Each structure stands twice: as C-alpha cells, then as structure tokens.
C-alpha cells in the first residue's frame, strides 16, 4: 500500500492526520492524490511482476469524471499492467449513491484495475452496495483487528462474519493493523486471505522495498511482534490482598487493565502461580502470574473487570 508521508525541511516528519484534512479543505487533495497515483505506479513498475500496489482514492478524486483517464494515464506512463494496481475506496463514496457512482465503478473496472473497499464497517455501513459495486477485496479496518485475540472481545466474531461475507461474494479480504503474534494466528484461523500490519514491517521508502524483494516475489515476509496484545492499562496505585494456599499477602497494584495488572511487593513469585486477588471489598478475581522479576509480577485475570466501578470501590486490606 502506498502511504503518504511528509518529511518537512524544518519541521521534520508531519503526520498525515494533520496535512491530509488540510489538503481536503483547500482543494489540494486532487492534485496530491494524482501525484501519489503516478508515483506509486512508477515505483511498482520496478518491482517483481507478481507484486501489486494499492493506492487510496479520496471521495473528491472518485467524484471527478476525469479520474478514470488519470488512472489510465498513470498506468501508461509507468507501463504498469492494470491488474497490478489496486484502488482503495472508502464507504463514504456511497453517501451520494446515484447513477454517477455506478458509472464511475463501471469505468474504473473496465480499465482492468482491482477495486478494494477500505475500512469496511467504520463508515456508511450498508450491505446494499456490495451487491452492485464490483469490488475485488474487502479491507477489514484495524479497529476490529486490535484486541481481537483478547478474551471476551467480540471483534473475532465480526472478522469471521466479514470473511464469510467476502467469500460468499467471491472477494478477497485483508485484515489491517495486525501487530502481535496472537492477532496473526487468529486472523489466519478465521480465513483472511491477506494480512497487513506492523507485525510484517513499518512503512518504508522505495529503496528499501527494492532491497526486500531483490530475490523476487517469492521472498517471504517474516512476522516480528509481541506474543500477545492486551487492553490499555491505566495507572492505579492500590493496596490489594493476595491469597494463596491459605496465606494472605499484601501487594500493590501499579497499573491495571480489564484483563490483568502489574503487582509489586511479592518477591520471586514463580511464573504460572495462581491465586486470588482482592481488588476491593466487593471484587475478588482469580489471577495467574505471567512474568515475575524481583518484587514485581504481571498477572492475567480469569475474567474481565470493570475499571470504572473498581475506582469507586474501597480498597481491600489483607487481614
């Protein structure tokens, strides 16, 4: 996927989240998008023939009657085969669902390029357009991938449903935003045809892409990432009672999430030890030590807890 990055001469790297909205508001997104399209095609023409490039299309570009000609010219200038270009289109283009929208899809498809529905499920979500828009792929937004492997998350069920829908419509699927090994394993298990995310690498310049594929398209990307993901942890200084084999110990929670915590004050706890933690007078959870160093250990709870209600409850004291 061609990702736009701006390294300013004096201000350094500027986030796309900052300059893309400005380009849209000032009407510069059209020329900027055309430059991205032309550059991406020229770059992809230097890659092994089996590798495609995906380019994001803004609603402004999509609404321009001359956009198919722009695509055709970019392909011709780069001498890139149309099937090696994938145009990523968001659901927002369907807000004005009319004959012009249908015509644009037909004209783009006639060029031989691939069409992908980007960020599926986060915008104007209607299944009606899937039966008439000629998409080749559905991209599952990273908001569904993040935390999908965490116990109690509904995201895996949503991913599974999207994959089943895509398969029924003869479309590929790409899961975006995979960062951890457990997310990768889950996505594979659910049947996604493609996986994208930092677990395979961060955005890189053209020169590094050429080096990565010097041996040809058969070069396999090696996943590198943390073993598992976890919900965001919050700082919470709280005294807790830890009970194990009839003994009661006093510990201190330093930070906590819905599914685990960092507890200090207990020395050299063996990894895998299970015990109960009295987080408050009314909340006791079973926990297991995942790691331990000196007087600190990371624990995982056997069930999710409500952090908001925990903050309002009195602290538990060992007795």
218 located within any domain:
no
318 located within any domain:
no
Q: Which domain holds residue 270?
A: 234-310
Judgement on whether residues 175 and 247 belong to the same structural domain of the protein: no
Inter-CA distances, 54 with 4, 83, 89, 120, Å: 12, 11, 10, 16
92 located within any domain:
yes
pLDDT of residue 116: 96
Judgement on whether residues 270 and 178 belong to the same structural domain of the protein: no
**Tens digit of each residue's pLDDT (9 = 90 or more) over 278-311:** 998 889 999 999 888 889 999 988 888 888 788 7
Judgement on whether residues 182 and 91 belong to the same structural domain of the protein: yes
Query: Cβ neighbours of residue 150 under 8 Å, at least 6 residues apart?
Result: 229, 230, 231, 259
Judgement on whether residues 158 and 113 belong to the same structural domain of the protein: yes
pLDDT of residue 236: 81
Which CATH number goes with the domain that contains 17?
A: 3.20.20.450
198 located within any domain:
yes
Chosen domain end from 166, 182, 213 = 213
Chosen domain end from 213, 242, 260 = 213
For the chain, how many structural domains are there in total? 2
Judgement on whether residues 11 and 83 belong to the same structural domain of the protein: yes
pLDDT of residue 124: 62
Judgement on whether residues 79 and 26 belong to the same structural domain of the protein: yes
Residue-by-residue DSSP string for 196-208: -STTS-----HHH
Which CATH number goes with the domain that contains 243?
A: 2.40.10.220
Judgement on whether residues 72 and 138 belong to the same structural domain of the protein: yes
- Look at the block and give the residue holding tokens 């594929």: 213
221 located within any domain:
no
pLDDT of residue 123: 65
Judgement on whether residues 160 and 15 belong to the same structural domain of the protein: yes
Looking at the chain, the whole-number percentage of residues with pLDDT higher than 90 is 51
Confidence of residue 317 (pLDDT cuts 50, 70, 90): very low
pLDDT of residue 165: 93
Distance CA 175, CA 193 (A): 8
Could you tell me where the beta strands, DSSP code E, fall in the chain? 6-8, 12-14, 53-57, 85-90, 114-120, 137-140, 172-175, 194-195, 234-244, 247-256, 260-264, 274-278, 284-293, 296-301
Judgement on whether residues 85 and 135 belong to the same structural domain of the protein: yes
Judgement on whether residues 157 and 10 belong to the same structural domain of the protein: yes
Total H helices, total E strands in the chain? 10, 14
Judgement on whether residues 47 and 181 belong to the same structural domain of the protein: yes
**Radius of gyration for the chain, computed over Cα atoms and rounded to the nearest angstrom:** 25
Strand partners, 288: 274, 300
Pairing relationship of beta strands 85-90 and 12-14 according to DSSP bridges: unpaired
228 located within any domain:
no
**Tens digit of each residue's pLDDT (9 = 90 or more) over 188-211:** 999 999 999 988 888 889 888 888
Chosen domain end from 213, 245, 263 = 213
- Look at the block and give the residue holding tokens 């990432």: 225
Judgement on whether residues 187 and 61 belong to the same structural domain of the protein: yes
**Tens digit of each residue's pLDDT (9 = 90 or more) over 42-68:** 999 999 888 999 999 999 999 999 999
173 located within any domain:
yes
319 located within any domain:
no
């Amino acid at each position: 996927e061609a990702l736009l990055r701006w390294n300013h001469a004096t201000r350094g790297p500027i986030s796309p989240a900052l300059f893309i909205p400005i380009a849209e508001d000032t009407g510069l997104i059209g020329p900027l998008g055309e430059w991205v399209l032309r550059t991406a095609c020229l770059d992809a023409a230097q890659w092994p023939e089996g590798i495609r490039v995906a380019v994001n299309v803004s609603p402004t570009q999509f609404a321009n009657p001359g956009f198919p000609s722009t695509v055709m010219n970019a392909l011709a200038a780069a001498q890139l085969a149309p099937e090696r270009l994938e145009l990523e289109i968001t659901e927002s283009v369907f807000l004005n669902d009319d004959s012009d929208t249908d015509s644009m899809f037909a004209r783009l498809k006639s060029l031989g390029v691939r069409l992908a529905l980007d960020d599926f499920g986060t915008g104007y979500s209607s299944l009606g357009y899937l039966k008439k828009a000629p998409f080749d792929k559905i991209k599952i937004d990273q908001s569904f991938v993040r935390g999908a492997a965490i116990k109690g998350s509904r995201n895996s069920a949503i991913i599974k449903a999207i994959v089943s829908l895509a398969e029924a419509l003869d479309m590929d699927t790409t899961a975006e935003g995979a960062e951890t090994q457990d997310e990768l394993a889950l996505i594979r298990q659910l049947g996604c045809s493609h996986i994208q995310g930092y677990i395979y690498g961060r955005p890189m310049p053209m020169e590094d892409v050429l080096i990565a594929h010097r041996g040809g398209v058969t070069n396999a990307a090696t996943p590198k990432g943390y073993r598992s993901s976890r919900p965001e942890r919050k700082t919470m200084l709280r005294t807790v009672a830890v009970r194990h084999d009839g003994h009661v110990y006093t510990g201190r929670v330093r930070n906590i999430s819905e599914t685990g915590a960092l507890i200090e004050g207990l020395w050299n706890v063996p990894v895998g030890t299970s015990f109960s933690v009295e987080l408050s007078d009314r909340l006791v959870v079973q926990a297991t030590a995942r790691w331990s160093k000196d007087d600190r250990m990371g624990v995982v709870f056997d069930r999710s807890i409500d952090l908001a209600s925990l903050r309002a409850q009195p602290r538990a004291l060992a007795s």
